[in-house]
Structure 1
């Protein structure tokens, strides 16, 4: 059976309900891969422990841009 990959990009309140439903539907098991976008990854400390448990195995990505003179000049423009 192939692995199904889902990329989730939504507000934490909606993601909380979504992942609890995905767990209840047994979609948080083998054969499924979950990736959450930066918007949700940055706000994970605002979700409850039940949601965090439902999200076990989820991978979060977060962009990182190191501080530099070029970045400072770009932000100034």
Structure 2
């Protein structure tokens, strides 16, 4: 027979009795944090944000600016001079 372990403070959800389906659906609640995977995700997220910022600055450097359409969406238009 297995002994019943009394939950101690700080055990969190691991100490509660749950079904296998709940544990499978909510895996992130029971898994221990993995620093290596977290670092890879952070680098990927920062890379995506940096690429978007780079592309936006590239278009602005070419003379484009973000203009809003009537429906609220944004598109890039070439800056026009009143003298042209």
Q: What TM-score, normalized by structure 1, do the two folds share?
A: 0.23
Larger relative helix fraction:
2
Q: What TM-score, normalized by structure 2, do the two folds share?
A: 0.21
Larger radius of gyration: 2
Q: Comparing both chains, which one has the higher relative contact order based on Cα–Cα distances under 8 Å and sequence gaps of 6 or more?
A: 1
